[in-house]
Chains A and B, each alone.
Chain A
Amino acid sequence: MRLKGAAVVLSLLLMSTALSGCGFKDIDKRFFVVAMGIDLPDEGKGFKVTLRLAVPSPKTEPGSAMSQIETIQSQTIAEAVRLAKSHVDKELDFGHCKIFVLGEKLIKQGYNDVLEWVTRRRDVQSVSYFAIGRPDAATIVKVQPPTERYPGNALFLAFGTDGTESSYSMTAYAFDFGRRAEEQGLDPVLPLIRKEKAMENYYITRIALLDKSKMVMLLTPQETQLYNQIANHFGKSTVRSKVDNNNMVIAANSVRSHYDIVSGENGTHTLRLKLRVSGIIEEAPPGVYDQDWGKLEAGFSEQTAAEIKTMLEKIQKAGVDPFGFGLRYRATHAGSPKTWEAWQQIYPELQFDIRVKIHIEGTGLVR
C-alpha cells in the first residue's frame, strides 16, 4: 500500500516536471526592455512605440552595452507591444524598464492613454521614471552613450539618487506621475531630455509643467533649479546674484522652504513663501571675505525673491499648479467640492509674498 502511494506521488512529480507552465520562463529566455519611448506616429492615428531591448552579456565593461531597438506602430500601445513580441525571439519583460520617454508632440496632445497603459500593466514597476523626449521619444531611446556599462545604465543613473544628482533635473516616478495626474490641486511635472545633434548623449536641464491632460509650459534651467529648491528642498544646488557687475554663486548646503496661504481683507489671498538657503560661496571676486556679509546676503535674497516671484506668476498664468498650492488649500479647508471650486477662483488672483533668507556660512577658503 505504502509503496503504491509513494509510486503515485513520484509519478505525479515526474509528470509535473513537464508542466512547468505559463509563468515559468527562465531569465535567459526573456528580453528585458530597458527603455520605452512612445510617440505619435509619423502618419495616421495611434502610437509609435520604440523599445530598447537589452542584450545581456556576462561582462560589464564601459562601452560593452549592447541593445536592440524595435519600433512598432499600432493603434494602441498594448497592441504595439504584442506586435513587438513577434519581432523578437524571447519573451518581453518590462520588469526592468525603468524609464518611459514620451515624445514632445505626444505630450502636447495628451498623455492619458499612456498613463492608463502603464498603470494597468502588472510588470511595469511603479518606481520607473517618466520623462519627455525632444525632438521625439524614439531619438532619445536610440541614443547609445559610449560610456554605458550595460544597456540603459546612463538613463537610469541620470535620474534617481544612484548616479548624478543635478539641480537642473528632477525625477518623476510613475506612481507620482499617476497621482499628480489625478489629484485636484497638484499637477504633474516631467523632466525634458534633449539630444544634441551628432552627440550620443543626453541633456536634461529643463522640466515641463503639465496639466491634467497635456504639457502646458517649459521652465528654463534657472527656473528648474528654483523649482527644485522650493518643491524638493534640493541641497546640491546654487544661488546666483550679481553684485557690482560681479557674479557671485553660493553652493547651498541646506535649503528649507515653507509656505502658507493667507487670506487677506476683501477676499484676496496671499501665498507667503519663505525660502531659507545656507551655503558656502563658490564663486566670488577676490576680497569677498572682508566685505559686509549682511549686505551680500541681502543682495542675494532680494534677487532670488524677485526670480521666484516672476516664475510663480508665470506658472500661475499658465494655470497649472506643480507645487500643490491647491492641495494645501484643500487640505487646510473643509473637505467639500466647494473648497475646490473656491480655490479655482482664488488661484488666478493669488498674490505672492516671497521672503528669501540666504545665509553665507563661509567663503570656501581658509584664510
Chain B
Amino acid sequence: MLNRIETIMAQAKDLNTHRIQNNTITIEVAYISSLCDESKVSDFILVPFLKDELEFQKNISLNPNFIVLTDTAKWSETLLRGFVLVQLEGTVYTLDAARVIRNENPQTQVETAIMGSQVSLSEDLIDSINIIRSRYPSPELAIEERTVGNCSRTRVSIIFDSRRVDPSVLTEVRDKIMNLEVDFLQAPGQLERLISSRKRSLFPTMMITERPDRVTSSLQAGKVILLVQGSGFALILPATFYDFMHAVDDEYDSFWMTRFLITLRYIGVILTILLPSLYIAVVSYNPELFRVQLAFSIAGSRSAVPYPSFIEVMIMLFMIESLIEASVRLPKYIGSTATTVGGLILGQAAQQAGLVSSIMIIVTSVVAISNFVVPVNNMSTAIRFLKYPLIIPAIFFGLAGVAVGIFIYIVYLADLRSFGKPYFRFIGPTKRHSGDIGQVDQA
C-alpha cells in the first residue's frame, strides 16, 4: 500500500508513511501530517499498537472509528480529507483524524442583530451542523452530504426537516447538485449562481446567511439549507422577495417598531432604486412636480452646473460607488479615512466647484444609505445595481420612462421563480403541505 501511495503523491512532502512492527504483526500507516491531528494518530494507532494490551486486530475491528475501505481508487481522496489509512493483513482501514484550522467562536459580522444570536455559523461543516442541531433538536432533521467540484472536492451538506420539507424542492436541489459541472467551489454565493435557473438573474433567488437562528427558522418553515465546507455561510432555498426584507430582529423586538422598520425598509429600497432616475426625470422633464420653492432652489443651485442632469447623476453615482467599493476593499484601519475623505470633503467640494447641485448631494447620500437598510447582504448588492438601468429611460422619456422601467421590474419579479416557487409573493403564510412555498408560520 505504501509504495502505491508514495507513487501517487510523490510530490507531497508532508505525506507520512510508516511501517511498524510489534511482537506479532506489522501494520502500514499513511497520513498527511499537515491535515491531521498527530496526537489522534498516536492515541488511536501508534500507542495501542505498540502497547498491544488488547490484540490490535481486535481493537481495530471493535473500534467503530475504523472503517474498512475497499476501493483503492479512493485512497488519495481519503488521505486528502485528513484521514489516516491503516493496512492490516491486506485490509485497509480509515480513521478520521482531520484537523481543520478555522476561526474560533465565530461572531456574526455580516448580518448582525442586536438581540439575536451573536454566534454565526462556522467555517467547518461539522461545527456548523453542531450549531444547527443544538438549536434544532428534532429527530426529523436530515443531513445529506455531497461532494462538488472536480478539483476542489468540496463537501456540501443538504440539511432539511424531513417532515416539513417540500419534496419537489428537495428533489430539484439534489438533481442540480448532482449534475453540477464545476472545478472549484469555494463559497455558497458561487453555489447559488451555479444552481439557480437564471444565470444572470437581477435578484438573488436564494438567501445567503451566517445566522444560525435564520437557518433554524427556515428549517422549521420547510426550507432546504445548503452548507459548504470552508465557508461560514449557509444557503437557504427557496426564498421570496419578502424574506430578504426581514431581519431576524423583526421577530424579537417590539411589535410596532418592527412593523415600522419593515415599512421603512421597503421605502428605503424604493428610494434607492428610484431617486437617481427620478431626479433626472423631474429636473429635466417635469419640474412642475416639485413645490415652487424647491423648484426655484434647485434651479438656483443647478445654475452653476455646466452638464445636463444625467451627467451630474453619473458623476455622483460613480463617486459613491467607488467609495463603497473602496471601503469594502480597504483594510479596516484605513477604511474610515476613505469614508471621511470621500463623503465629507469630496461631496462638499464637488458642490462648491459647481460640478453637482446641492440637491444631488442629498440624493446621492439617500441612495447610498437607504441601500443598506436591506438586512440580507446578497439582496442589498443586487438592489445596488437596479438604479442604473432606470436611468436610461429617464434620460429619454422622463417620468413616463421611469414608470415603464418600474413596470418592467415588477413584471420581471413576478415572473421569477425560486425552485419552482413564486418569488414575488407578498401574501402569506400558506400551509406547508399545500405545495406552496413554506413560510415561517407561527401558530
Q: How far is the CA of A34 from the CA of B291 in the complex (A)?
A: 12
Contacts of A246 in B (CB 8 A): none
> CB within 8 A of A60: which of B293, B302, B310, B392?
B293
Contacts of A17 in B (CB 8 A): 395
Q: How far is the CA of A176 from the CA of B113 in the complex (A)?
A: 55
Q: Mark B279-322, 1 if CB is under 8 A from A, else 0.
A: 00001111110001101111111110100111000000000000
Interchain CB contact under 8 A, B288 and A93: yes
Interchain CB contact under 8 A, A24 and B300: no
Q: How far is the CA of A17 from the CA of B280 in the complex (A)?
A: 14
Interchain CB contact under 8 A, B298 and A60: no
Count of chain B residues with a beta carbon within 8 Å of a chain A beta carbon? 27
Interchain CB contact under 8 A, B358 and A23: no
B398 at interface, CB cutoff 8 A: yes
Min CB distance B1 to A, Å, is 51
Interchain CB contact under 8 A, B300 and A32: no
Given known A58-B297, A58-B300, contact A153–B287 (CB-CB < 8 A)? no
Q: How far is the CA of A153 from the CA of B295 in the complex (A)?
A: 13
A37 at interface, CB cutoff 8 A: no
Contacts of B300 in A (CB 8 A): 28, 56-59
B396 at interface, CB cutoff 8 A: yes
Nearest residue (CB) in A for B291 is A96
Q: Mark B392-404, 1 if CB is under 8 A from A, else 0.
A: 1001111000000
Contacts of B283 in A (CB 8 A): 26-27
Interchain CB contact under 8 A, B296 and A56: yes
Contacts of A28 in B (CB 8 A): 299-300, 302-303, 305
Q: How far is the CA of A213 from the CA of B284 in the complex (A)?
A: 38
Given known A24-B308, A32-B295, A96-B292, contact A56–B287 (CB-CB < 8 A)? no
Residues of A10-46 whose CB lies within 8 A of B? 13, 16-17, 19-21, 23-28, 30, 32, 34
> CB within 8 A of A20: which of B287, B303, B395?
B395
A168 at interface, CB cutoff 8 A: no
> CB within 8 A of A34: which of B292, B310, B358, B395?
B292
Interchain CB contact under 8 A, B288 and A123: yes
Nearest residue (CB) in A for B398 is A23
Min CB distance B292 to A, Å, is 5
Contacts of B298 in A (CB 8 A): 27
Contacts of B396 in A (CB 8 A): 16, 19-21, 24
Q: How far is the CA of A186 from the CA of B183 in the complex (A)?
A: 81
Given known A25-B284, A26-B283, contact A20–B308 (CB-CB < 8 A)? yes
Q: List 29 A-B contacts (CB under 8 A).
A: A17-B395, A19-B396, A20-B310, A21-B396, A23-B285, A23-B398, A24-B284, A24-B285, A24-B308, A24-B395, A27-B284, A27-B302, A28-B302, A30-B287, A32-B295, A32-B296, A34-B292, A56-B303, A58-B358, A59-B300, A95-B287, A96-B287, A96-B295, A123-B288, A149-B293, A150-B296, A153-B292, A153-B293, A156-B292
